[in-house]
Structure 1
């Protein structure tokens, strides 16, 4: 029996109501996603002070902080994929402006993969710096400190400091001047060259700074009246991706980072952007203040190693046996601090490197899944020729 007009009207009302419920749920999911991102970024900007925790403190730009940053990104990426890519009508992706924004986001992920590779090699370099610092620690912890111990420590520290400050774009004459000033031997330069190769796995023309610039060049905030609510979360995820890559490049040894402090512009109109902008400003100020021409970057542990290394080399230059009690106490404190930093690097860098590898693999999988969705939509919407 065919439905009457009243029955048809009733079914239409049920269908409209069902669609309204689905729409309201989708809007709520997107709002929750943005709130979760804002909360996670706020914790990065204001790390909790848990004095009872045995974990290393989350000092800004420390290894512990970067591990939390990558955790935040992985959580945001998983939620983004769930509520935007997999939980939506894929036909939205072929409508303007998503037909442009999604491919642009995917292009950023390709550039992010290059940066992840550079960061993985940069962490290898950090591990070598830690080994050099550990040699100095082991030598200077001897009691009493002998001349041979001091020479061994000085040699390791000079190699460490030379590797930290050297820049591949420097002229060979400048490198020679630096090595003469620091007392590095030809054998030290062989070591430095080996360390350089650990972090510089790309062509010499490759630039981490230019990669970041390319990722952010077309990243623009949504305008009012966009035809789909998915524009904001896509912009959000791209912004988080660029920020995470930018922050890691600022801290971990990477190839060519000139002008890095000026490569990220974020919109202030969103709540979730406020803590990200605060972090960007703080990191950017530190970058410009330090004017790092070498490769050490802004990682907290590396900065402390460099400062301690300079002080201990100064001690080694003026060493005479026996060491005065006051001076011995001062040196012991610096060595203890360096030992503590080596311990943090030993525990944290391997885990951080594994997280970067996980990030790389996650980006690859998510990109492939998104491309599969787009490919399916394109096949469905492409007219069949007759």
Structure 2
């Protein structure tokens, strides 16, 4: 073969290799750009969850009325943030990626750990659903008090009825839902819970209504194992949640760590807001590194919720803003009932009317908001199940399913 042909073949090979290198560089740059955008989007979304005084982008005279921290509206916004982050994470992790990356360290370890956190998050979603049902029960008790105290004139019978409902409400809120409930209620509570469920064939045994309500509210968590603990679940999810270092901080390791951090923070917040079984509360923070830009708003949010926890006596009933209002108003109305004398003075009647109006408004907000919140928690549950299955499918395709990963 002529020398010129060899020379041309050599140049062609060099050209192809250069083209491959250029393509690799372009793909790498595109990958880095996607990762940077993902981090920025996560940061921007969590900034929008911060109270106005904690946000640098808030301008005087902004028309939007921000949601109260830890209110139902705010929690729904938090879940929207998670769902958006999760969708983008899945796109960054899977779409257009070489699945063989999942077989290489450290992803071969980090992905199974992330999937395991998802399984624990599913349990927390179930606990939150039960907690929302408990809040509905509190709402019904508060509504009984509202209807009794809206009567005019207020007579002793109305006050007694309201006081019974409010005492039941406050007792239920103060109950220790993980240990004392089993001691105080025992097997009778389990029987009442089982016959009170939809679809059961029996009627509640003849007993005092408010006593039965306490038993039902205390037994909401009996569907979980007595050893199950929301706080331990959060602690287990945060185990081995370590920020990537060195070269790992620029690869797919970073979005996996980021999404795991978002998942733990969202579950941690839900447990703080909604009454759950064995919820020691957010007094023990999982640590987020401060050197990453996207962690700053999450750390601020974590600190704000921790402050609320300390302020509200460890939030035995949950830090949900609406619950806090119900508890305070109920305590004030019980004090009024304890010192009730007929006829009620004009000044006292006006004071009580204001409290009743406030309690009625909160009951209305719960009536409107709890249903959509519960549906959103259910959507979160199913989304995590689907996403987990998709990641497992990719891992299966490259024959790298960790035997420790639960299906």
1:162 is aligned to: 171
Whole-Å separation in 2 of the counterparts to 1:227 and 1:341: 46
Deviation sequence 1:118-174 (CA, Å, 0-9, x none): 001100111111111111111111222222221111111111111101114238888
Residues 281 and 309 in structure 2, CA contact (< 8 A), matched pair in contact too: no
Match of 1:42 in 2: 47
CA contact (8 A) 2:248 2:254 kept: no
**Secondary structure of 1:262's aligned partner:** coil
Which consecutive residues of structure 1, in runs of 5 or more, have no partner in the other structure? 176-184, 381-386
What corresponds to 1:322 in structure 2? 343
1:5-33: CA deviation from partner (whole Å, max 9, x where unpaired): 22222222222222222221111111100
* Paired residues of 1:199 and 1:253 also in contact (CA < 8 A): no
User: Structure 2 unaligned runs (5+)?
Assistant: 53-57, 186-206, 402-407
Partner of 2:78: 69
Q: Say whether 1:359 aligns with 2:380.
A: yes
- 2:326 corresponds to which of 269, 280, 305: 305
**What TM-score does the superposition give when structure 2 sets the normalisation length?**
0.85
Q: Which residue of 2 aligns with 1:335?
A: 356
2:264 to 232, 236, 242: 242
Q: CA deviation at 1:258?
A: 2.0
Q: Which stretch of the first structure deviates more once superposed, 281-290 or 305-314?
A: 281-290
TM-score, normalised relative to structure 1: 0.89
- How far off is 1:52 after superposition? 5.8
Over aligned residues, Cα RMSD in angstroms? 2.3
Aligned partner of residue 246 in structure 2, secondary structure: coil
Moved over 4 A (4+): 47-53, 171-175
Note closer, same or farther for the CA distance 1:174–1:360 as it changes in structure 2 (3 Å cut).
closer
For residues 387 and 344 of structure 2, the distance between their equivalents in structure 1, rounded to whole angstroms, comes to 60
Q: Which residue of 2 aligns with 1:179?
A: none
Give, in angstroms, the shift of residue 232 of structure 1. 1.2
**Counterpart residue number, 2:24:** 19
Q: Distance in 1 between matches of 2:183 and 2:390?
A: 51
CA distance in 2, matches of 1:10, 1:174: 80
Q: Distance in 1 between matches of 2:140 and 2:184?
A: 26
Q: How does 1:248-259 map to 2 (within 5 A)?
A: 248-258=270-280
- Is residue 399 of structure 2 the alignment partner of residue 378 of structure 1? yes
What secondary structure, in the 3-state scheme, does the structure 1 residue paired with 2:219 have? helix
